[in-house]
Every structure is written in C-alpha cells, then in structure tokens.
A and B are shown apart, each in its own frame.
Chain A
Amino acid sequence: MAARGFLNLAQATEAALIIAAQARDQAAFGELVKRRQGWARALLRRMCSSHAEADDLAQDAFIKAWERLTDLETPAAFPGWFRRIAVTTFLMAKRKQKAIFEEIDDASPIAAEGSTPEAAAGAKIDLEKALAMLSDAERLCVTLNHGEGLSHSEIVEITGLPLGTVKSHVLRGTEKLKRLLEPAT
C-alpha cells in the first residue's frame, strides 16, 4: 500500500513514519523497515560471523522495535535507540551460545591467521572477511567504534561491558584488522 490516508508512505519523512508506526500503523512500520533494513543488516552482519544469523537477529530486532516503539520518545532518537536494540539482541543470542565478552584472552590469535591462502599471499582481504577473523567481542567493539562512530564510553553504555575491556577489545581488534587489511609490505 503506497498511500494510507493523508500519509503517502513512499514520500513520508522517517519521523512521520515513526509517529504513524507508534500509532500501530503496520504499513508505516513496513516502510520504515524497508528504509532501515540495509543499515541494520549491515550492522549485524559485521557483528556476526554468519549472514543468516545476522539476518535472523535483524528480524528479531525489528520485531522488538515494533513492540517497544511506544517507548521511543522522539523520532530523531530512532537510529541510536534501534542500534541499542540490535546490540542487545546480538548479545543475548551470543550469551545463549555461551560466548564470553568480558574475558580478554591475550593469547587469542587471529582466527586462521597465516593459514588462509589470501593471508599467505599477502593479498588484501575485504573488511567482512577480516572482521570474521576477530573474536565475537572484538568484532562487536570494533564495529561499534569504527563502523558506528561510538566512543568507548558509549560502547560501555550500550553493551554493559567494563570500560577497560571495551578499550582492550577495540585496540586488539583494530590491530588485527590492520594486519589483515593493510597491503603486505
């Protein structure tokens, strides 16, 4: 349905869609999902190692957003509010899989580092592949820091991890990415 009452969904602003969705307009929410799905799926694909899992989590996050949309105070806060839901959904799924985010394993190597043909050849590996070689915690913190532009304290607030742990995951993850992404010299 392209138009609904006075609201033409295709031309409506995101704020108008959010307000309509808060009034339980499913078509407006559908349009909002259409517009935001690329960003949401990309965010979760960077945090997860599998595309299928990321899409499942993105779907869960959108459904949770629909259920809690009345809690959103202003439409302008939607991206940050949704990002928090997505991260919480990711963390809950990972904790169900017994993933531990608080622990910093100094000896953790880059997954399969040096064993892949690309790494062995010193070839440039794309970001997604490079992220897949980090641990779950490093991937989460690096994505939020470099991808979403969040500060360490904002990551602490959104994930509930200790500040030192977040700093360490960002640093170690960035170093690993540097080794994987920079052309071999």
Chain B
Amino acid sequence: MNDFDALLKRSFAEAPEPADDGFSVQISRAVAHREKTAKVRNAAYTVGMAAAAAAVCYGAYGLMGLYGQEVLATAGLEVARVHGALSGAPSVGGAAQGMLQSFGAGLTQMLLVFGALAGGAVAYRAAQD
C-alpha cells in the first residue's frame, strides 16, 4: 500500500457523520406510520373478504329460496330417470343365455327334420335299387 492509499483509507475512516436525533426520529415516525397503514390495510382486507363471503352466502341463500325446490325436484327426477335407464338396460349375459336356450329348444326339431330327411333318402335309395 503506497502513501496515497493510506491517506485515502484514513480520510475515509475519519469522516463518520455525527448522530442526528432528528434523523432517527423521522425514520421512527415513518416506520410507525407504515405499520399503522399496514394494520389498517389488513383490517380493511379482512372486512372486505368477510363482506364478500357474506354476500355470496346471502346470494346463494336467496337463489335456493327461489329455485331450490324446483332444482331439487328436477334433480330427483333426473336421478330416478338415470336409475331407471340403468336398471332397464338390456343385459348382454341375459341375451346370450336366451339365445342359447332358443338354440337348445330348436335343436330337437332340427334333429327330427334331419332324421326324417335322412330316412326318406335311405328309403328312396332302397326303392330305386
């Protein structure tokens, strides 16, 4: 470090500002004012949110009073309709079972027809011979 650097360092170190009470008081006042404003803002926000929630609840209550019964009745009807549609829907298992039953019942007739035809054919062949 040369002489000038030392001089510079000394000069910088030598010049602290004297304490000024007015400066501290001004900052304390500004901080207190900001805190007060923040508190008021928070309180206003809370009141605003509460008022908005109350308005929403009141509006919902009014709507329910006007249309609630109708809405509930329509909803109940829709539920019943859906339930009916679901329970009345054709079952794939049932349809398959019915088809197999029909096929089983018809099989006897088919065998009888087939047997008669075969017998007829044998009798005709014998008559030709």
Interface residues of A (CB under 8 A from B): 24, 26, 29-30, 33-34, 37-39, 41-42, 45-46, 55, 58-59, 62-63, 66-67, 126-128, 143, 146-147, 174, 177-178, 181-182
Contact = CB atoms under 8 A, between A and B. Distances in A.
Contact of A34 (B14, B15, B19, B32): B19
B3 to A, nearest CB: 9
Contacts of A55: 23
Interface residues of B, number: 25
Contacts, number: 75
Nearest to A178: B4
Contact of B26 (A46, A59, A178): A59
**Dominant SS among interface residues on chain A:** helix
16 contacts: A24-B35, A26-B31, A33-B24, A37-B20, A37-B27, A39-B16, A41-B20, A55-B23, A63-B31, A67-B34, A127-B8, A127-B11, A146-B8, A146-B9, A146-B12, A181-B8
Interface string B21-58: 10110111011101100000000000000000000000
A66 B34 contact: yes
A165 B9 CA distance: 22
Contacts of A37: 17, 19-20, 23-24, 27
Given A26-B28, A59-B30, A146-B5, 17 more contacts: A29-B31, A30-B28, A33-B27, A34-B24, A37-B27, A38-B17, A39-B16, A42-B16, A63-B27, A127-B12, A128-B15, A143-B12, A146-B8, A146-B9, A146-B12, A147-B12, A178-B4
Interface of B: 4-5, 7-9, 11-12, 14-21, 23-24, 26-28, 30-32, 34-35
Contacts of B28: 26, 29-30, 33
A181 B27 CA distance: 35
A91 to B, nearest CB: 20
Contact of B17 (A45, A127, A182): A45
B9 to A, nearest CB: 6
